[in-house]
A and B are shown apart, each in its own frame.
With several copies, the nearest count.
Chain A
Amino acid sequence: MSIRVKLEAFEGPLDLLLHLIDKNKINIYDIPIVEITDQYLDYIKQMEEKNLEIMSEFLVMAATLINIKSRMLLPAVETEDEQDADPRQELVDKLLEYKMFKYVSEKLRDKQENASRILFKPPTIPKEIADYKEEIDVNELIGDLTLSKLHEIFSSIVKKQSDKIDPIRSKFGKIEQEEINLSDIFIQIQEYGIKNKIFYFRNLLEQQSTKMEIIVTFLGILELIRLGRIRIEQEHMFDDIRITYLASDIITMEEAGF
């Protein structure tokens, strides 16, 4: 789990790549692609399939790296064409551009820090003046806009939307991505319990809100009751459930035989 946390610290594949380049003290214009690709893939392996969407972005970069790597490994073709570009060039350009924006965003952070010391004053328009509101003339606002023009705008948006939908796959119904990891939530409840001893069911839901997460959290609570690791109290129906954590350690789902 610690590895996953570390990986999530990277904003994306470019960020991870920059980190590796930095860590290895590599000249960005002369990336030892074989080495970096290996290290990059190592990181990816540690990621596991926690989040498919994030994962896929890192994989695209991995594919790019492997592609460059293979092109670098091929014997260089002797050509007169001096423009036979370094296969790494595009990646280098991307990395440099990204690095540049990381650099200016730090500068902007300083500017924001300074600007936050300047304070403004809310409007204090006397009530009788504020009450006077310039009527917004809808006719003037609409101008020469006609219903058919509006319809045209609408159609072009709807058309664009239907263009995006794959007519065959859209009939498959919604495929929900399994984002919730039951064993993780089971551990999280216990970690929360050790830290807080007495807490409420609602506390647990503060960070997670999908229906699925609520259900899974509830299942976890039921399991912990069965194991005698927590005690719960609820005065009235629909009241928040008060939970007292009795155990002092954490068990995994496998150990619990869940």
Chain B
Amino acid sequence: MDIKLVEARIEAILFTMGEAVELDRLALAIDHDEDTTRKIIRNMMDKYDDESRGIHIIELDGAYQLCTKASMYESIIKITHIPKKHVLTDVLLETLSIVAYKQPITRLQIEEIRGVKSDHPINKLLEYNLICELGRMDAPGRPILFGTTEEFLRSFGLQSLDSLPAINPEKLEDFKLEAEEEAEQLTLDI
């Protein structure tokens, strides 16, 4: 099959669907195997990088979605009002980070890290579809396990969970040094 036609089909499908389309469904629709489909899409992604294009394809956990480039934002808001997304409070963001890095995680484990009851933020994050239930833990009481959703990846511009900002041990060292420096400063001041 002509590769150009396949590209056209993928573009048309992604445009029409609007939402993220899984690789396996795309492959079926264009009658190619998944590996070939992935290669074609990767190639298309490069073409969209051209500066005359205002849209591009993003990858979300093995699914693909068409969206505008971030740099186009200013021009778009000139012509239309864009409703603000949910602004996440510190509490929600903190709870969400814990779920993102520690998933699958139970409510109790979240509360242990935060040191405070967390029903409210957990329910809000469920409501915003940023976290979801993954199932139940095989432990006494069979507590619910939480994890992040595709919407979480999209809202934070992440390709997959692997692209979460890294928590590295060095950072912890930095905190330690900072604290020590501050302590030293204090002694000097006195």
Contact = CB atoms under 8 A, between A and B. Distances in A.
Nearest to A151: B172
Interface of B: 12, 15-19, 58, 65-73, 76-77, 80-88, 90-91, 93-94, 96-98, 100-101, 113-117, 127-130, 141-142, 149, 151-152, 154-158, 164-165, 167, 169, 171-172, 175-176, 179-180, 182-183, 185-186
Nearest to A133: B80
A142 interface: yes
A11 to B, nearest CB: 5
B132 to A, nearest CB: 12
A26 interface: yes
B97 A28 contact: no
A125 interface: yes
A237 interface: no
A138 B157 contact: no
Contacts of B164: 104
B176 A29 contact: yes
B100 A154 contact: yes
Contacts, number: 212
Given A108-B93, A129-B80, A141-B128, A151 B169 contact: yes
Interface residues of A, number: 69
Nearest to B101: A154
A237 B186 CA distance: 67
Contacts of A182: none
Given A13-B115, A29-B176, A154-B101, 18 more contacts: A14-B116, A99-B175, A101-B94, A104-B101, A108-B156, A119-B72, A125-B17, A129-B80, A132-B77, A134-B84, A138-B129, A141-B87, A141-B88, A145-B93, A151-B101, A151-B172, A157-B97, A160-B141
Contact of A28 (B18, B82, B165, B175): B175
B148 to A, nearest CB: 10
A123 B94 contact: no
B68 A119 contact: yes
Interface in A146-194: 146-148, 150-151, 153-158, 160-161, 163
19 contacts: A11-B94, A61-B115, A96-B175, A101-B97, A102-B94, A108-B97, A114-B157, A118-B69, A119-B82, A120-B68, A124-B16, A138-B149, A142-B155, A142-B156, A147-B167, A151-B167, A154-B100, A155-B169, A157-B94
A138 B130 contact: yes
A112 B93 CA distance: 10
Interface in A196-217: none
A11 B114 contact: yes
B96 to A, nearest CB: 7
A25 interface: yes
Contacts of A141: 86-88, 128, 130
A107 B165 contact: yes
B141 A138 contact: no
Interface in A111-139: 111-112, 114-126, 129-130, 132, 134, 136, 138-139
